[in-house]
Structure 1
Amino acid sequence: MRELTGPLRGAIVLWLAFWAAVHLYFAGGPFFEWAASLVHPGIERAMPFGGFGFPEPVEMRSLHLLVFTPPLFLLYPAFAKRSPQTRPSVFDWVWAVVSAAPHLWVFVNAAAVSDRMEYVDPFTPTMMAMGITCMVTMLEAIRRAVEPGLAWMVAGCLLYMATGHHWPGVLNTRVFTAPEIIEAAWLVPTAGGVYGPLTGIVATTIAVFILFGAFMQGSGTGRLFSNLGAAVAGRYTGGPAKVSVVTSGLFGTMSGSSVSNVITTGAMTIPLMVKVGYRPAVAGGIESAASVGGALMPPVMGAAAFVMAEITNIPYGDIIVAAAIGAVLYYFAILAAVHFEAKRAGMEPMPLKDIPAWREVLADAHLVIPIGLLVWLMTERWSGNYAAFWATIAMVGVSLLRARTRMGWRAILDSFYSAGLTMAPLAVSIAGAGVVVSALTATGMVVAFGGIIKETAGGSLGLLLVLVALTVLVLGLGIPTTPSYIIAAAIGVPTILELGRPLGVDLLQAHMFTFYFAVIADATPPVAAAAFAAAAIAKAGPTITSVHATRFGIAGFTVGFAFIYDPGIMLRGGVVAIAMATLIQVVALTLITSAYAGFLMRPMGVALRAALGAAGLFAAFGHVAPDEVRLLVGMVALGATALVQGMAGRARVA
């Protein structure tokens, strides 16, 4: 991103902050309507967009893209080396102005767009020109500000619609005319495309949660999480690594972004890990493995979780409840891996001078109140955007309780700007994902890919899950988490539900499985956004860093499958079923992480590592056996090894 200065930087800060504030105003519609009614009962008719709350869907989606797309061309250079790095070029200004035209046209003509019959009413030359302009500028914005791989995927889908009738076998499609392709990608707001439901989710619910995260950061909640992580884990073996894991999990409640987590927490934890003896690539791997889990951590999970709530029609409160134990298990697996690695290498805790006192932690403890309020409102089935609105307002109010956390006007402005800066690239990436989904649906590729995966699986649910997981991980090579999840869910979830029907697999289980692997893909090689960011801080190779990230997070892959086979971790069933499912995973993860670390209570040889690994895999995946048998095998293997190693250690001391 460019480092702009002077009046232009101030103008962009004010622009992004203003429109982020407008999104917060929209979310608080019911409150503002009530407050205004106390002053004048009919005042809502004089308000912008004809009342309080969010505008009509097409108006809202086009406005969202209208205000957030043009700044991307001013903030992000076209080329890393050849383009000006401190100011936009003339061509950047042209791109910015042209990119606004199609969204402005839709915004002005929103009523006509909403009323037109898709694929029936004429697609005029003006619409064609605007649609092509939108596709070109959106692809360039995605290439610059998000990920070139996603831009290529969107372009590839459009090309496939144009040439699919020439492709053989299951890839063959009907002939699509140029107007049909552009209409499907651009102007079908009820089903997909640029102004489809996915853009609607980002413009409403996700935008307000981004605001909440920005205000958490601005109030000093990040300092609270950082100090809490150091106070809890810093005194133990391999302290900085454990601080990284705990802190990244806490930061995940704010950002839901793996790269953001790496940049925020890694700047502190990676140098500390290197200082106590971790190799730079290992330190970066630990940080990136921990950071990707932020999108799994309730109450503010990644954008994909809100998409899940929309496309499944499952309340977001139910999703965060179902995700809670799985997120904790993921971080438990990384903590166990880090602990065994540190013990094997004989690493030291953090220096005492770097560990904050508990009074320092408690000085910011009041900042958890808005998080608790958000969780409570969500469990009370408030809409996500209205709950996040009140949590954001509460964050500002609670920050005033202590001088060290008090948010002045500058901190509030910075928080709005930070939120707008996050919303802008997300807006175009989700619009691009909408184009992909629209193309896959129109061409029938959703059904074709699902059929290919189902045929390859041969009726085996386990093999099908492996194939879907691999599909998501491959998609993660070139596109961000949310588009990856959207595309994989469209392809894989229907088949998972079909083959999982005998086991009672339901919609939420299938989507949680897909979502979990879409998140983890951010840390798996060869292209891993989180690992690449951590490698830059650690001054290590990005590929080897991503390999270490996978190594530390790989035991957590078992949790994804547990959503299907052990639904107790989704808080389903009685207390016994939930406890049994959770305990099986804890034992399995401990065995697997100790096996590949080569350490439990003492270093282990190859044979013992293989035995413990086999026992762990059986506990995690041996679903043909009763749960009691899986747990017993795991606990016996773990207990016997710990007992023998403990006795050997005492004998050596004696």
Structure 2
Amino acid sequence: MRDLAGPLKLIVTLWLAAASAIHLYFGGFGFPEPITLRAFHLLVFVPPLFLLYPARPGRSPERRPSLADWLWVIAAAAPHAWVMWHWAEVSDRMEYVDPFGWEMMVLAVLAIVTLLEATRRAVEVGLAWMIVISVAYMAFGHYIPGLLNSRPFSAAEILEASWLVPTAGGVYGPLTGIVATTIAVFIVFGAFMQGSGTGRLFTNLGAAAAGRYTGGPAKVAVVTSGLFGTMSGSSVSNVITTGAMTIPLMIRIGYRPVVAAGIESASSVGGALMPPVMGAAAFVLAEITGIPYGEIVVAAAIGAVLYYFAILAAVHFEAKKAGMAPMALRDIPAWREVAQDAHLVIPIAVLVWLMMDRWSGNYAAFCATLAMVGIAALRRRSRMGWRQVLESLTNAGLTMAPLAVSIAGAGIVVSALTATGLVVALGGIIKDLAGGNFALLLILLAITVLVLGMGIPTTPSYIIAAAIGVPQILDLGSKALGFSQAELLLPAHLFIFYFAVLADASPPVAAAAFAAAAIARASPLMASMHATRLGIAGFTVGFAFLYDPGIMLRGSLLDILVATGIQLGALTAICAAYAGFLLAPMGPPLRLLLGAAGLFAAFYHGVPDAVRLAIALGVPGVMALAQRIRLPRPVRP
């Protein structure tokens, strides 16, 4: 991103801050007409990307935009400004019935091309290519024989479907509406959390809680990354924020750089799974399913805790095996220092309370943001002056702008999938490959989501995969599991959501692992492999959502305890087996036995849950007892 200077920097700063403030205002006092809001959202966030991101890093000017960049700005603003000016006409027109004239076709081309270029510059080249392929498929899909054949589309139909079908998809579709409403206000809330010093609270809390134990810096990385995830929901920003501190500390006490990068990236990726915010994709999930966000938070709570439990367990076993020391006492903040920022938890509690009370997400985030400013003013160290408020609003705008184009791009892909029937075709291919085997279907869908995640950010990856996979899970799952499709709706979406999140840390292309590897000066591929095995709980919990509904706090108390106990025991066994340490070092035979027991309990559902629980808790329990007996007793003075 460019480091702008002079008057232009001030103009862009004020522009982004004003855009964020307006979105916050809408969240509290109501939104304009949907098409007007979506056009305004893209008008204020797409053009600045051409000023902030050079066309070719290293070749384009780094401190100022070029003439070509200014032309891109004008081209990007034109279609959205036109829609705002003609909002009544656009709202009243009948999609695919009313004429789509040459003027609208030109504006549609401008909207799509500028969106592609902004995506290429500020988000991912892979997503830009997926948008291109989707539009090309609409144009040429009728030439493809067999299952992937589609009907012919005229140029006007392609452009209208990609740009101006607010009820179904495209640039102004419902996905852009979700970002412009709920997600935007939550991003502002997260920026104010950081501006008020809540990040300092999380860092100090993580160090005070975990720093005194074996492998302290690694455990601090796990705890703080999970807490930071409640603010940003972005794995890469979590890595950059916390990794700059924790990765050097981990390397200093003995972790290999590649392992330190893996720990940080796995921990940062999990931030998007951690309630109460959970990242942008979770809000899209709520909008698509129509399930209240508070219900989603409750259903995802145990899974998020299990994810971080597994990372902490893996870190603990490896630190014990290597005999690593805790953090130096001088680096561990006193609890009284943590307590000085404890008041900053109140706005988070306000947010959770309002959402549990079924207030809309945007209104809850609006109230929590105002509460953050007011509560932060209670102490000098957290008080936000006008500079901090301006900086928080600007940071929110810098986060929202790339997200706006990525979601609008995902809208084009979804529009192409639905208009051509490709979503049905791809679902049919996966279903045929599964051959009626529900477990195989889930494995194929998990692989599909992980592959999508190689070049696409979490939220659009989830959106596209959910469109393809959820109908298949509901159809086959209702027969295989004996649940109704309504009961499987949330588990199916959470399954897709978890693997979309994990894709950020899975090889061969993993954005979070690559960022962590850059800090650690380690191999990105090896860092992503370590992140994947450290995030094993994401895989086990993803499947458990469908097979063990107790993990979502569904069923009786016994069902919940059994499902949670199976996961706890299985994850402990798997992590200990990989590290080769439980209470003492283990040889290959015991590691294989322990790992097999953990994998069996976590993934095999052909035996009663009581048997799985007995294996998950019994095998590591017996092994720990045997090691305990063999451990040398301390000599008393």
Q: Give the TM-score band, short-chain normalised.
A: over 0.9
Aligned mates of 2:127, 2:538 — CA distance in 1 = 26
CA contact (8 A) 1:555 1:592 kept: no
Matched, 1:266 2:248: no
| Corresponding residue number in structure 2 for 1:205 | 182
C-alpha change, 1:500 and 1:330, in structure 2 (3 Å) is same
The one of 576, 580, 583 equivalent to 2:562 is: 580
Report the identity percentage: 72
Counterpart selection for 1:627 from 609, 612, 627? 609
Q: Is the 8 A contact 2:230 2:279 kept in 1?
A: no
Equivalents in 2 of 1:290, 1:399: separation in Å?
27
SS in 2 for 1:246: helix
How far, CA to CA, are the matches of 1:90 and 1:556 in structure 2? Answer: 47
Tell me if the contact between 1:281 and 1:544 (Cα under 8 Å) persists in the aligned partners: yes
Spell out the pairing of 1:562-573 with structure 2 (5 A cutoff). 562-573=544-555
Q: List runs of 5+ in structure 2 lacking aligned partners.
A: none
Matches within 5 A, 1:82-481: 82-481=59-458
Deviations 1:395-448 (A, max 9, x none): 000001111111111111100000011110100000000000000001101100
| 1:50 corresponding residue in structure 2 | none
Alignment match, 1:541: 523
Query: How much does 1:578 deviate?
Result: 1.0
On the 8 A contact 1:322/1:570 being kept in 2, the answer is yes
> Could you tell me how far 1:86 is from its partner in structure 2?
1.0
For 1:650, the equivalent position in structure 2 comes to: 632
Structure 1 residues 312 and 486, CA gap change in structure 2 (3 angstroms): same
Distance across 2 between alignment mates of 1:109 and 1:448: 37
Separation (CA, whole Å) in 1 of partners of 2:621 and 2:403: 48
* 1:605 to partner: Cα distance: 1.0
Partner of residue 474 from structure 2, selected from 485, 488, 497? 497
Q: Identify which range, 643-652 or 82-91, moves more after superposition.
A: 643-652
| C-alpha spacing 1:459/1:652, structure 2 compared with 1 (3 Å) | farther
Q: CA deviation at 1:532?
A: 1.0
Please give the TM-score of this superposition, normalised by the length of structure 2: 0.98
Cα distance in structure 1, aligned partners of 2:77 and 2:501: 32
Alignment pair present for 1:602 and 2:579:
no
Deviation at residue 549 of structure 1 after TM alignment: 1.1
- In the alignment, the residues of structure 2 paired with residue 579 and residue 323 of structure 1 have an alpha-carbon distance, to the nearest angstrom, of 15
Cα distance, 1:551 vs. partner?
A: 2.2
Counterparts of 1:198 and 1:547, CA distance in 2: 32
Q: Which residue of 1 aligns with 2:20?
A: 20
1:56 paired residue number: 33
The Cα shift of 1:622 comes to 2.3
1:637 counterpart letter in structure 2 = V
Give the partner amino acid of 1:587.
Answer: G
RMSD: 1.1
Q: 2: CA distance between counterparts of 1:359 and 1:222?
A: 17
Distance 2:529 2:50 in 1: 34
The alpha carbon displacement at 1:516 in A equals 0.5
Q: What one-letter code is carried by the residue in structure 1 that aligns with 2:386?
A: W
What is the distance in 2 between the residues matched to 1:644 and 1:59?
68
State the alpha-carbon separation in 2 of the partners of residues 314 and 552 from structure 1. Answer: 31
Please tell me the residue identity of whatever aligns with 2:581. F
1:532 to 514, 521, 530: 514
Matched-pair contact (CA < 8 Å) for 2:499–2:538: no
Contact 2:446 2:499 in 1 (8 A): yes
Deviations along 1:551-606, whole A, 9 cap, x unmatched?
21124311110101111111111221111111110001000111111111111111
Cα separation, 2, equivalents of 1:348 and 1:375: 37
* Mean Cα deviation higher: 568-577 or 127-136: 568-577
Q: Which amino acid aligns with 1:21?
A: A
1:10 alignment partner in structure 2 = 10
Contact 1:20 1:417 in 2 (8 A): yes
**In the alignment, residue 330 of structure 1 is paired with which amino acid?**
Y
Helix, strand or coil: the match of 2:362?
Answer: helix
Alpha-carbon deviations, 1:507-553, whole Å to 9, x = none?
00100000000001000111111111111111222222111111211
2:541 is aligned to: 559
Residue 377 of structure 1: CA displacement?
Answer: 0.3
Q: Which deviates the most, 493-502 or 207-216?
A: 493-502
2: CA distance, partners of 1:12 / 1:281: 38
Deviates more, 1:500-509 or 1:223-232: 500-509
2:306–2:537 Cα contact (<8 Å) kept: no
**Equivalent residue for 2:597?**
615
Is contact 1:555-1:593 (8 Å) kept? no
Question: Could you say which residue in structure 2 is the equivalent of 1:67?
Answer: 44
Cα deviation for residue 652 of structure 1 reads 9.9
1:614 maps to a residue whose letter is A
Q: Distance in 1 between matches of 2:541 and 2:247?
A: 26
Residue type at the aligned position of 1:306: F
Asked if 2 retains the 8 angstrom alpha-carbon contact of 1:281 and 1:545, the reply is: yes
> CA offsets per residue over residues 459-485 of structure 1, 9 Å max, x none?
111111111110000000000000000
User: Once superposed, which parts of structure 1, at least 4 consecutive aligned residues long, lie more than 3 Å away?
Assistant: 651-654
- Deviation at residue 650 of structure 1 after TM alignment: 2.2
What is aligned with 2:619?
637
SS of the equivalent of 1:650 reads coil
SS in 2 for 1:434: helix
Q: Whole-Å Cα distance in 2 between the matches of residues 588 and 110 of structure 1? A: 56
Whole-Å separation in 1 of the counterparts to 2:264 and 2:312 = 11
The two structures have a TM-score, normalised by structure 1, of 0.95
CA distance in 1, matches of 2:245, 2:329: 16
Distance 1:378 1:547 in 2: 37
**SS of equivalent residue, structure 2 residue 503:** helix
Q: Distance in 2 between matches of 1:215 and 1:651?
A: 53
Deviates more, 1:537-546 or 1:319-328: 537-546
Q: Is the aligned partner of 1:482 residue 2:470?
A: no
CA contact (8 A) 1:95 1:137 kept: yes
Contact 2:458 2:500 in 1 (8 A): yes
The answer to whether the Cα contact below 8 Å between 1:591 and 1:616 also exists between their aligned partners in 2 is yes
**Residue 321 of structure 2 contacts residue 585 of structure 2 at CA under 8 Å; is this kept in 1?**
yes
Residue 500 of structure 1 aligns to a residue whose secondary structure is helix
Paired residue secondary structure (2:153): coil
1:80 alignment partner in structure 2: 57
Following superposition, the deviation at residue 168 of structure 1 comes to 1.5
Q: What whole-Å deviation, never above 9, does each CA across 1:148-183 have from its counterpart, x for those lacking one?
A: 000000001001111101112111111111111101
| Partners of 1:651 and 1:4 in 2: CA distance | 65
